[in-house]
Amino acid sequence: MRLLTYNIHKGIGGRDRLYRLPRIIEVIENENPDLLCLQEVDRGVPRSRQHDQPSMLAEHLAAIGCTFQLNVRLKKGGYGNLLLARWPFSERHSISLGLPGKKARGAQLGIVESPEGLFRFINLHLGLSEQERHQQMEHLLSHHLFRRSQALPTLIAGDTNDWRNTLAEGGLAARGFKHCTHPISRFRTFPAYLPVGSLDKVYCSPEVRVVNLRVVRTKVSKIASDHLPLVVDFHCR
C-alpha cells in the first residue's frame, strides 16, 4: 500500500506565489497513492478563487473515502486537513489540537478496510513552538478516539513543524511508534525549492512494515507548494 503526505500550501507555489491547484494534482497523481494526508487545504477562500478544494481533489483523484477538517476560519472560508482514501472509511474523526492563544490546529483519524485488513492512519498539522507541539501530540495520543482503536496497524503522518526532531523521543516512542523519516538528512521537505528542514514526518506502529519511504523531488513538486511531499510504501505485518 502507498500513503502520501503533503502540505499543499493552499495550492499556492512556494516561489512564484501563483495559485495553481492542477500542479498539486499532477504531483499526487504521478505517485498514485492509496491514502492521502493533506494539510493547508482551502475551502471557499478568495486567494484560491473560493474553490472547494476538498471536493475538487477528491473528484480529480477518484477518492472513495474523503473527510475534511476545517481548522482555521477566515473572513471568507477557511483551511485545514484533508484525508483521502482509495477505500471507504469505516470510521473517521476530527480531533482538535488547539491551545489557548495559539493558531488552531487539528488531527484527523481515519480507519479503512484495506486489502490487508483494517488500517488506521492519522493526518496532523502541529504548531510552531516546541512545547506546543509536544502538548498537541500528547493530547492526540491520549485522546479517547485514538485509544479506542490503538490495536490497529497505524501510520501517523503530516506537517509536524518539528525542526529539532524531538517529537519521536516522547510519547510516540513510549507507545511503540517508530520514527520512519530518519535520518532527517534524507527527508528534508521545506522549503520545497531548496529544502533544509525535515518538517513532514511519518511514524508507524509495530504492526506496520515500511518497505520504502522517500521525498518526491520533481520539477513540478519543487514549485507546486512550499513543501515537498513524502511517499511511504508499507505492509501490515
Residue 167: how many other CB atoms lie within 10 Å: 23
Q: All 3 cell numbers of residue 228?
A: 515537498
Query: Residue 192: what are its φ and ψ, rounded to 5°?
Result: -60, -40
Give helix then strand counts, H and E, for the chain: 6, 12
Number of domains in the chain: 1
Q: Closest Cα partner for 93 from 102, 104, 81?
A: 81
- The CATH number of whichever domain residue 138 belongs to comes to 3.60.10.10
Q: Closest Cα partner for 159 from 196, 133, 193, 139?
A: 133
- pLDDT per position as a tens digit, 81-102: 999 999 999 999 999 998 888 8
- pLDDT per position as a tens digit, 145-168: 999 999 999 999 999 999 999 999
Contact 229, 12 (CB under 8 A): no
pLDDT score, position 100: 87
Write out the residue range of the structural domain in which residue 93 sits: 2-236
